[in-house]
A = this chain, B = another copy of it.
């Protein structure tokens, strides 16, 4: 149980959990690795290998209990609890994220929003009032923020990341096109939309060359 789990495994676990929740909605009671694989776009062997890193949850000849496996995966992924999340950057992307219903559904609670634009500070977004970026340390400390979403320009991201971590944030979701450097024990995931588009562009360009 102590070996390092690869990123791709973690992503697949998320997929499995989503599939299981759909199955729960349909009142399915058991599911085989084969069925899970089909929904997640992978193979049965991969599903079993992924799960085997955390224990053995299935019954031979029968498959997995949907409810039990979903519960186990929630625990493994850490979404059997609430996470307090702060959002930095109340621009377009920030506001889209703020209203993103799926975050709340998985226990990610956006309890603070910060921005550097004085015109935005003080505005009320639902239950939250936008704070000035200078309040970052206070907000992170007082509201006991776990995770920080950075939806700020690239040149501001590194400085904010450092302040956030120093103030107690434990993980970062970074939308800026910058490779953040933080302590090794602070997980960072990057979402880079241009990069995703470029992946498409590359795939199509390569095809052209090949033909």
* Chain A residues with a Cβ under 8 A of chain B: 2, 5, 7, 10-11, 13-15, 17-18, 39-41, 76-79, 83, 85, 92-93, 95-97, 99-100, 102-103, 106, 108, 146-147, 170-173, 177, 179, 185, 187, 189, 191-207, 210
> Would you call the interface of chain A mostly helix, strand, loop, or mixed?
helix
- Apart from A79-B201, A108-B201, A187-B204, what 6 extra A-B contacts exist at CB < 8 Å? A41-B179, A78-B202, A108-B194, A108-B197, A171-B200, A171-B203
Give the nearest-CB partner of A19 in chain B: B179
In whole angstroms, how far apart are the Cα atoms of A10 and B195 in the complex? Answer: 9
**Copies of this chain present:** 2
Find chain B residues with CB under 8 A from A18 CB.
177
